[in-house]
């Protein structure tokens, strides 16, 4: 099994700066809450909030647990256990690593809206180009990518590869079977 580099560290760094600037353009006078979805978004969120800080945007940061994937596959179900009442009256930006089926963001977006925020925006680093059964408004997109399974920069395959500084695609070597916890 090999990992092929797909988006370089350099491209990611520049993109995160660009997203931070776009967030500033739209939210320069508001107090923002960043709602980051664990685990995949932890590195993206850390880099993004540091870039925001450098340009004088100082959001509050909250993390939420949501899990929908098992290995390569979406389970089709999303679990969110946390109480979201803290978003009431606030400008919320949901930060997610990747939009795939959209199920996770749809569920979270609806949960946030139920708690009466002042506004909600969505920021994704990666946006898979594939058909979806529903539309969610995405305000900030890092990279549009083909419908392939990617790892690195926070994203895992069965908890491995989160620390890769770039985003890569897993390539199966001929006749190799993928087994859990490689
Ligand atoms: P969705 O609910 O949009 O189908 O999936 C969102 C979640 O699934 C992401 O937060 C991420 O954890 C996981 N996911 C979706 N696509 C990929 C992928 O290509 N690679 C990895 N590592 N995780 C993915």
Domain containing 112 — which CATH number? 3.40.50.2020
Categorize the per-residue pLDDT at 28 as very low, low, confident or very high, splitting at 50, 70 and 90. confident
Q: Does 28 reside within a domain?
A: yes
Locate the ligand 1 atom nearest the alpha carbon of residue 155 and give its number: 22
Q: Whose alpha carbon is nearest atom 8 of ligand 1? A: 69
Q: Whose alpha carbon is nearest atom 19 of ligand 1? A: 149
Categorize the per-residue pLDDT at 14 as very low, low, confident or very high, splitting at 50, 70 and 90. very high
pLDDT of residue 133: 76
Helices and strands per DSSP (H, E), number in the chain:
3, 9
Q: Does 167 reside within a domain?
A: no
Q: Does 158 reside within a domain?
A: no
Q: Taking residues 27-55, what's their average pLDDT? A: 94
Q: Whose alpha carbon is nearest atom 16 of ligand 1? A: 100
CA dihedral 22, 147, 13, 37 (to 10 degrees): 70
68 lines ligand 1 (CB under 6 A): yes
Closest by CA to 103, choosing from 125, 77, 128, 64, is 77
Q: Taking residues 144-173, what's their average pLDDT? A: 93
pTM of the model: 0.90
121 lines ligand 1 (CB under 6 A): no
**CA 138 to ligand 1 centroid distance, Å:** 16
Q: Taking residues 110-124, what's their average pLDDT? A: 95
Q: Does 103 reside within a domain?
A: yes
What is the length of the chain? 182
Q: Does 179 reside within a domain?
A: no
41 lines ligand 1 (CB under 6 A): no
Q: Does 162 reside within a domain?
A: no
> Catalytic annotation on 100?
yes
Q: Pairing between strand 119-128 and 91-99?
A: parallel
- Which of 47, 70, 97, 100 does the annotation list as catalytic? 100
B/e letters for 145-170, b = 16+ CB within 10 Å, e = fewer, are beeeebbbbbbbbeeebbebebbbbb
Q: Does 163 reside within a domain?
A: no
pLDDT of residue 176: 57
The number of distinct structural domains making up the chain is 1
Q: Which domain holds residue 137?
A: 8-145
168 lines ligand 1 (CB under 6 A): no
Percent of the chain with pLDDT over 70: 87
Q: Does 17 reside within a domain?
A: yes
């Amino acid at each position: 099994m090999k990992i092929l580099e797909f988006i370089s560290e350099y491209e990611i760094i520049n993109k995160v700066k660009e997203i931070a600037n776009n967030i500033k353009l739209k939210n320069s006078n508001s107090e923002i809450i960043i709602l980051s979805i664990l685990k995949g978004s932890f590195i993206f969120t850390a880099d993004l909030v540091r870039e925001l800080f450098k340009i004088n945007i100082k959001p509050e940061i909250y993390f939420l647990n949501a899990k929908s994937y098992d290995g390569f596959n979406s389970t089709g179900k999303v679990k969110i256990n946390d109480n979201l009442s803290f978003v009431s009256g606030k400008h919320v930006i949901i930060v997610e690593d990747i939009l795939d089926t959209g199920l996770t963001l749809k569920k979270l977006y609806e949960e946030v809206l139920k708690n009466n925020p002042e506004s909600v925006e969505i920021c994704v680093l990666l946006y898979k180009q594939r058909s979806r059964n529903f539309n969610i408004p995405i305000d900030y997109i890092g990279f549009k990518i083909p419908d392939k399974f990617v790892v690195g920069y926070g994203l895992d395959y069965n908890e491995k590869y989160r620390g890769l500084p770039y985003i890569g695609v897993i390539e199966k070597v001929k006749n190799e079977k993928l087994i859990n916890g490689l």
